[in-house]
Chains A and B, each alone.
Chain A
């Protein structure tokens, strides 16, 4: 092979390597792991009915409290794993100005209710239906579980992607009480609906 062609080969190979590095390092990242654009912004308002039906609940009704918004479903294994931690933390912080709101994601209310019957629920938490996934879309949910933390001013200050545990939830709430912005944390995988 003559030297000219060899140099052309080197150039093409180098350009290919550069492009491959870009693709591998940047564009291979799970898009669900990007920082939520909601962080530092007012939390999207929602008005949702409880899973059992009845009077609706709005986020604005809870202004002045720290609100933990968790998206869950019975088909989500990670949600099942974290459920006890969420329930117990909701109980533990019930009298400290913290309200847990669990929103059923891509699941009919009767199915979610049946699941909660077995998994247990906190008297202090709210369990809401999200018809048409409007609230999930407003919160930019990619997969579940995803948990958002809204401070007393109504600003999204934290997000946990993946399964939570009691310590992580407690520490995040503590940080918010101290006026900090915990930001986003990835604790594990999320799940899509099996037929998605």
Chain B
């Protein structure tokens, strides 16, 4: 075979191969290839860094089945990915999007390459000095290089900060407040009633019931508060403090609401059996004894016990002292 023929054949072969490759590139990939390619872009949401195409998990297989179905329906690749992004956000993409906090991931390598080229360029223009002058020129060269390196590092930091800033501004759910920890103050009386009713057998419901009763009590709605205090007072699961608090409230409501002095003092006594240190029970019992039972001496004695408590707050102490002085001066309860 002549050299000319050999050259012609070689060129022809190259042209055929190039044409075949061009055809492969320009022709749309087959559907299974498309499904595989899309699957390899999507991160399996229940796996660690695996694509749905490569994960054996049931969830990944379900997602691949969805992708295959969409491909069969003639949906474009971008539309399929957009559908999954609409549900999962960018967190489902194996390649992070260019922007926001992930900008750093894309820019840091670029910055590193630029820095590297700059360093090589610098060293080529300032070749290493002879060993004899190492301490002098090398130090100078290193010293000149330092600002460049610091500049690069600063640039990297700026990119990261900018990324976070952009992410904050582009927050995906702008205007949607976080639910945060739930506070009973956020819950309506009706909801608390409904939840308590639905959890009547739940041993942990006493706290919620007491909170609701206290809310009614503060509002002066004794009728609504009464059954809840009664439940807590009789609950086997309630703490001593919860029971004592309920008994004290029931006692005061019996006096304030119905002027039932005997019932009230009986309830205060029950509270004091459970919590002997309760100044509130003692003080309120003294009030009832003074105002409803015509027993000022007993009332004064109880008030003195209250005053003996070193932990009594200044305001309470002033109030108790005032009441005690009124009793001792023979004033009648008003």
Q: Which residues of A contact B (CB under 8 A)?
A: 2-8, 10-11, 14-15, 18-19, 21-22, 26-27, 31-32, 34-41, 44, 84-85, 88-89, 91-93, 96, 106, 132-134, 136-143, 157-158, 160, 166-168, 170-175, 180-185, 192-193, 195-196
A-B contact pairs, 30 of them (CB 8 A): A2-B135, A2-B142, A4-B141, A4-B145, A7-B146, A8-B145, A15-B152, A15-B156, A22-B105, A34-B89, A35-B173, A38-B86, A39-B172, A85-B199, A88-B198, A89-B198, A92-B194, A93-B194, A132-B65, A136-B62, A142-B45, A157-B176, A171-B191, A174-B186, A174-B188, A184-B179, A192-B57, A193-B57, A196-B46, A196-B47
Q: Known interface pairs A22-B104, A92-B194. Does A106 touch B156 (Cβ–Cβ under 8 Å)? A: no
- Residues of B near A7 (CB, < 8 A) are 142-143, 145-146, 149
Query: How many chain B residues touch A (Cβ–Cβ < 8 Å)?
Result: 66
A41 to B87, CA, bound (A): 10
Name A13's closest neighbour in chain B (CB-CB): B153
- Residues of B near A19 (CB, < 8 A) are 108, 156
Name B85's closest neighbour in chain A (CB-CB): A37
For the complex formed, measure the closest distance between the CB of A179 and the CB atoms of chain B, giving whole angstroms. 12
For the complex formed, measure the closest distance between the CB of B91 and the CB atoms of chain A, giving whole angstroms. 4
Query: Which of A5, A138, A172, A193 is B87 in contact with, Cβ under 8 Å?
Result: A138
A182 to B179, CA, bound (A): 5
Verify B138–A2 contact, CB threshold 8 A: yes
| Across the A-B interface, the 8 shortest Cβ-Cβ residue pairs | A4-B142, A11-B149, A185-B179, A140-B87, A88-B198, A92-B194, A31-B91, A92-B198
For the complex formed, measure the closest distance between the CB of A49 and the CB atoms of chain B, giving whole angstroms. 17
Q: Which residues of B contact A (CB under 8 A)?
A: 43, 45-47, 57-59, 62-63, 65-66, 84-92, 101, 104-105, 108, 112, 119, 134-135, 138-139, 141-143, 145-146, 149-150, 152-153, 156-157, 160, 164, 171-173, 175-180, 182, 184, 186-188, 191-192, 194-195, 197-199, 202, 208
A38 to B135, CA, bound (A): 63
- Residues of B near A139 (CB, < 8 A) are 87
Q: Known interface pairs A170-B191, A174-B187, A184-B179. Does A2 touch B134 (Cβ–Cβ under 8 Å)? A: yes
- Residues of A near B47 (CB, < 8 A) are 196
Verify A89–B195 contact, CB threshold 8 A: yes
Query: Which of B62, B84, B139 is A2 in contact with, Cβ under 8 Å?
Result: B139
- Residues of B near A31 (CB, < 8 A) are 43, 45, 91-92
Name B156's closest neighbour in chain A (CB-CB): A18
- Residues of B near A36 (CB, < 8 A) are 89, 173
A34 to B100, CA, bound (A): 14
- Residues of A near B119 (CB, < 8 A) are 8
